[in-house]
Amino acid sequence: MKHVILYAEDDRDMANLYIKDFQDNGYLVMWAKNGQEAIDMYRENLPNIVLLDVNMPRLNGFQVAKEIREKNPFIPVIFLTSILESGKAVKGLMIGADDYIRKDVEFSEVLARVRRMLQRTPAEQNPIVHITRNTWLDMVSHELNSCGKSCKLPSRDCNLLQILLLNKNNSQKRDEIISRVWGDNENGKDYMNKSMSSLRKLMSADKSIRIAISRGDSVAIIIND
């Protein structure tokens, strides 16, 4: 099965060049002409990888990446842009992008980075994450099932759980998680506490799962399955 690329770029001439090159290399490409169109296409088609320009009409690339990350922190996201400032690159990576590529590089390098990202994720991108033998999470519907009891998680709770699972059995800084899930919201710490309490309760029947907070204000999900 061919991989599907969601490519958001408002410059038609630039887009046509990249679309042809990707198609010549065996990829299917969905082209979004602005940020809102990219989000709509993502919701309807669930691509394998997302390539984003930064400066686009309606929603910029950073806004698109943030919304997609809230829905699925596992999908590869790459910024492909002419903006050269290092601060912009740092912002993109902090939002959760996997890579930041300048448009003036050779296409062969872009292709190599796309291939590398796709090798890190399953070709079919199965939305079901088996946390333990008795607990699983559907990343698309946000359904959490633990020991036979099912519940649809709020989007923030689902995003928090997915981020913890990306680094299971390893501590992560609470402030970094808050920034990724709640942004600059001044109540982010309180919201995170409520979300963790809810997740603990929902998975309490599965004794092989534990959400731990260390004295250094780090958080981890511990799996002993």
Query: Binning pLDDT at 50, 70 and 90, where does residue 140 land?
Result: confident
- CA 64 to CA 16: how far, in whole Å? 21
| pLDDT tops 90 at residue 145 | yes
- CA 112 to CA 142: how far, in whole Å? 32
The CA-based diameter of the chain, rounded to the nearest angstrom, is 56
Give the up-direction half-sphere exposure of residue 148: CA atoms within 13 A in the CB hemisphere: 0
92 neighbors 66 (Cβ within 8 angstroms): no
Mean pLDDT of 90-99: 70
- CA 180 to CA 70: how far, in whole Å? 9
3-state secondary structure of 192: helix
∠ Cα 67 68 73 (to 5°): 115
- Tens digit of each residue's pLDDT (9 = 90 or more) over 161-219: 988 887 788 888 888 888 878 877 889 899 999 999 999 999 999 999 999 887 768 89
Burial of 184 (0-12, 13-18, 19+ CB in 10 A): exposed
207 neighbors 190 (Cβ within 8 angstroms): no
In this predicted structure, what is the pLDDT of residue 132?
Answer: 92
| pLDDT tops 80 at residue 96 | no
Q: Which domains does the chain have, with CATH numbers?
A: 4-119 (3.40.50.2300), 128-223 (1.10.10.10)
- CA 137 to CA 94: how far, in whole Å? 25
Residues shown for the chain: 225
- Residues in CB range of 132: below 8 A, 6 or more apart: 206, 208, 209, 223, 225
Strand 209-213's sheet: what is its strand order? 172-173, 218-223, 209-213
3 neighbors 112 (Cβ within 8 angstroms): no
In this predicted structure, what is the pLDDT of residue 45?
Answer: 74
Mean pLDDT of 8-14: 92
Task: Read off the tokens for 156.
Answer: 């923030």
Within 10 angstroms of residue 95's Cβ, the number of other Cβ atoms is 20
Task: Read off the tokens for 36.
Answer: 């809102």
